[in-house]
Amino acid sequence: MTDAPDRPADAETGTDLPAGPADSDAETDPRTDGGLPAMDGAVPTRDPGAFSQLATALGRPLVVGTVLVTVVFLILPVLATFAASFAHEWAGVLPTFVRDGEFLTLVNWRQALGLTQTDLGAQRGLGGFWTVFGVPIPVTIGFSMLLALGGVVINLLVGVPIAYAVTRYDFYGRGWLNTFAVLPVVPGIILGVAFLKTYSDLPSAVGLMIGYSLLKAPYMVLAVQSSFESMDLRQLEESARSLGASWPRTFLTVVVPNAKTGIVAGAIVCWTLAAAEFNFSYIVYSSGPKPFSLFLFENISNNPFLQAAAAISVYFAIVVVVTALLQAVGQRGFALGGVR
């Protein structure tokens, strides 16, 4: 005979108590800690509901469609203006690109750039031409490119150290410095009046260059600061210093090259906005070659739309070329002996 399983006994009578539901559950429960029975591995299903199913089905297409509509809405005026610069006329709903068997025309571009023999007004507006390697460059365009480039250089020399300081160190007045670094995000006409009254004796070119750098400095500081915040600056510096590099060499060959993405992005934004800055240029400009923004203003206000479209397209073309050059510099790295 086999022994019967032990059952709990009554403390007073000593007799065995009958097995209850708890005892039978304990015999069949594979767990010995009194917890819930083990799951069989199946994940419980849940009805997502009609709204959740609809959101899942239409969510991504809706987001993609919204982005495409927004991009087309923003790009369409630029493309229409660029296309109109090659049209013979625009008298109806659409421009006329074919006339007398001739498809497209460069007359509007020649007139905007002052390359025609009879368009003396445009030539005076462009301030004549510089000859660089045998290529005639309108003085206004070349002058504005140099002004904007000078402003970018100032932003690099001032904005990068400021962005590094407020990211790397914790010091008294750090918040105020960060605030003053982005304070010039004001309309150009306001800064132009203040700048003109304060530095009225500066040459026009110098004033424009410094003003461009002040107006666009926040974009450089914020872009570079974002790159610095994505790095462990302390670890980078300690690693370089442990290998014998001085602090200037560490900053120029390790820290700055690692922030090239933010630096290139800030340079592109600063140059693009400075080259077409109108309000500040209109207030501060006094003599010498005209900034390109004033040339655009004269072409837009005093000429037919097609010639104005050509002048605006010149600016678009310059921005594309400069952006490509700056991106190429960023991809190749900086010639500071650091990372590439």
Cα distance between residue 295 and residue 303, in whole Å: 11
Q: What is the pLDDT of residue 73?
A: 92
Cα distance between residue 324 and residue 339, in whole Å: 21
State which CATH number among 1.10.3720.10, 3.30.200.20, 2.40.110.10, 3.40.630.30 fits the domain covering 108-332: 1.10.3720.10
Cα distance between residue 277 and residue 254, in whole Å: 34
- pLDDT per position as a tens digit, 83-126: 888 888 887 778 888 887 778 888 888 877 766 655 545 555 56
Cα distance between residue 273 and residue 118, in whole Å: 33
Q: What is the pLDDT of residue 101?
A: 76
Q: Average pLDDT of each block of 10 consecutive residues along the chain (340 residues)?
A: 51 51 49 53 63 72 88 89 86 79 82 64 60 74 86 90 88 82 76 83 86 87 89 87 87 88 89 87 84 82 82 86 80 52
At 128 the three-state DSSP class reads coil
Residue in the block written with tokens 């109806």: 92
